[in-house]
Amino acid sequence: MNYKQTFIGLFIIFISFLFMACSTTKSSAEKVVESQQLAESIKDFKFKFNASYANPQNYKSIYLSPYYDVKVSPDTVEAYLPFYGRAYTAPLDSRDSGIKFVSTKFDYEIQKGRKKGNWLVEIHTEDTKRSYSLYFNLWENGKASLTVNHPDKQSISFQGTVIAATKEE
């Protein structure tokens, strides 16, 4: 086998891996811009929480499909999350299972967390059948957690990501 052909083949493979590695990483400037956009979005109360894992009490973590989320805007909170755990009162309609609601009347509070780049957001609904309390722990790198309290169910927490809300959401 010709050493020149082998060298050229290895060089092409090396360049291919180099381009793939460079295209998948974000520059530090892009990360700073994204974290600033997310910070503004949280302060303006316009963000979306995408749940990846459910952590029910007394059960193991459950991986979730990418369709579960909570959309937050200044005038509406819309939740579509599963529920695992003990329900103290069973719903009459099976479509009422899970944590699914749209609220336009709610109280909320945003506080800076203890560490830099961390926010704590509390939401208490007033116009749902029973009031929900949502406690978000949001980070500027996009990581987030959520704990949901409901009077008829055990509390449940979720891990996932937070993104700035887009105009069409």
Domain boundaries, the chain: 30-164
pLDDT in tens, 115-126: 888 899 999 999
Task: Give, as one character, the DSSP assignment of residue 27.
Answer: P
CB 53 within 8 A of CB 64: yes
Q: What is the dihedral of CA 146, 138, 136, 61, to 10 degrees?
A: 10
Does residue 23 register a pLDDT over 70?
no
Architecture of domain 30-164: Beta Barrel (2.40)
pLDDT in tens, 59-114: 889 999 889 999 999 999 999 999 888 888 777 766 667 889 999 999 999 998 88
pLDDT in tens, 126-141: 988 889 999 999 998 8
Give the Cα separation of 143 and 141 in Å (integer): 6
DSSP state letters, 42-70: HHTT-EEEEEEEEEETTS--EE--TT-EE
